Amino acid sequence: ASMPLPEVSHKRVVLLFDCDCFYAQCEMLEHPEWRKKPLAIKQKYLVVTCNYVARKSGVRKLQSLEDAKLRCPDLIIVDGSDLTKYRAVSMRVFNVLKRFGGAAAKHERLGMDEVFVDVTRAAEEDREDEPRLMGHLFQPDPAAVRAARTLRAELNFREAPAADAKAEQSDSGSEDGDWVRDYRETASPDDAKAALADEQLCDCGCQKRLARASKIAAEARMALFKEIGLTVSCGVSTSKMLAKIAAGLNKPNKQTTLLPQHALALVHALPTRVIPGLGFGVASALRELHPPVFTCADLAREGVRPLERLLRATLKSPPAGLAKDLWQRSLACDTDAVKPFSG
């Protein structure tokens, strides 16, 4: 190991709110009669998004209109090239979310349909002894846990959650029944038990902070539904990357918590494209390598120096430090801060 291995503290708590099929939901707000019908939003000749009824028929994002109509002859198609309506709803979403996480929270917009919220401070406040975890908890299977352990050992990478000074201080499921379950109940008994299993406890207090954050997430999602009528998926974890990946695990209209001690078991087998900042170009170049680099574990084993060479060969002018950042993220370590007022 030639490069300093990533430092992982679990002190931050980051939420990612991701509006389900955003443009389609905006249209359904104006046309409730479309809610139970297959609906696609087009720009030029492409379906840019579609509701979950349409997805059941095989309609997909960025599919040609032709394909979509073949798969779903009764598809309702709306032109979405005028974005003004969507921008307005997007700002309403952002303004609702700004009320959550307390005065110290930071909110960052990503495109029109995603918002990161750093709720570290609110999650630290110790007003509830045993906060209940809301929504889903990601649980790696034993094989994935073993694979992550092997990868860590290979790279001599020790997770060091020994808290630093700061942390130490302290379906379209839009039917009503679904709502009550997802917002009002805690995680399933199995999830809750797993969260408290001795071997999975981390002594820095991240479980409690994430559980508190999961409650904030549930309250915010409830507010978005009541005040705007939108369903969102949410990821709860300790970095932007992990929150984003977590949000994708249960969709639509669900929230998922990812404990940092489970992150590598989830990330190691995923394609390199899950790493923020690693786009189509770099991912393709990585696959051309011999042996090819497909997964985050492949990239982690590759190391920083080879990645630097590949970036120089692939990109016109690779930003300084990009190789190191991407490599650290391949080990589920993402230090990118939530940047406030990005919208």
Partner DNA sequence: TAGGCTCACACT
Partner DNA sequence: GAGTGTGAG
Q: Cβ(132)–Cβ(186) under 8 Å? A: yes
Is 58 a binding residue for DNA by CB under 7 A? The answer is no
DSSP label at residue 291: S
CA-to-CA dists, residue 301 to 6, 151, 329, 341, angstroms: 13, 8, 12, 37
Out of 111, 149, 171, 309, the residue judged to bind DNA by CB under 7 A? 111
Choices 99-107, 232-240, 298-306, 315-323; region in contact with DNA by CB under 7 A: 315-323
Q: Which stretch binds DNA (CB under 7 A): 126-134, 190-198, 269-277, 288-296?
A: 269-277
What are the CA-CA distances from residue 340 to residues 119, 142, 149, 189 (Å)? 12, 38, 35, 36
Compute how many residues bind DNA; rule: CB under 7 A.
Answer: 33
End-to-end CA distance of the chain: 41
Say if strands 106-110 and 114-118 run parallel, antiparallel, or are unpaired.
antiparallel
275 contributes a contact to DNA by CB under 7 A: yes
113 interacts with DNA by CB under 7 A: yes
Residue 157 CA from chain centroid, whole number:
24
- Judged by CB under 7 A, does residue 134 bind DNA? no
Q: Is 159 an active-site residue?
A: no
Question: Are residues 27 and 124 in contact, defined by beta-carbon separation less than 8 angstroms?
Answer: no
Contact with DNA (CB under 7 A) among 315, 324, 335, 340 = 315
> Cis (ω within 30 of 0) for the bond into 252?
yes
Closest separation in Å from C-beta 62 to DNA: 6
CB of 244 to DNA, least distance (A): 6
How many whole angstroms separate alpha carbon 177 and alpha carbon 227?
A: 18
Among 43, 57, 172, 335, binds DNA (CB under 7 A): 43
Catalytic residue among 114, 124, 159, 302: 114
Q: Which stretch binds DNA (CB under 7 A): 6-14, 104-112, 187-195, 251-259?
A: 104-112
Which residues are near DNA by CB under 7 A?
A: 18, 43-44, 46, 48, 62, 81, 83, 110-114, 244, 273, 275-282, 314-320, 339, 342-343
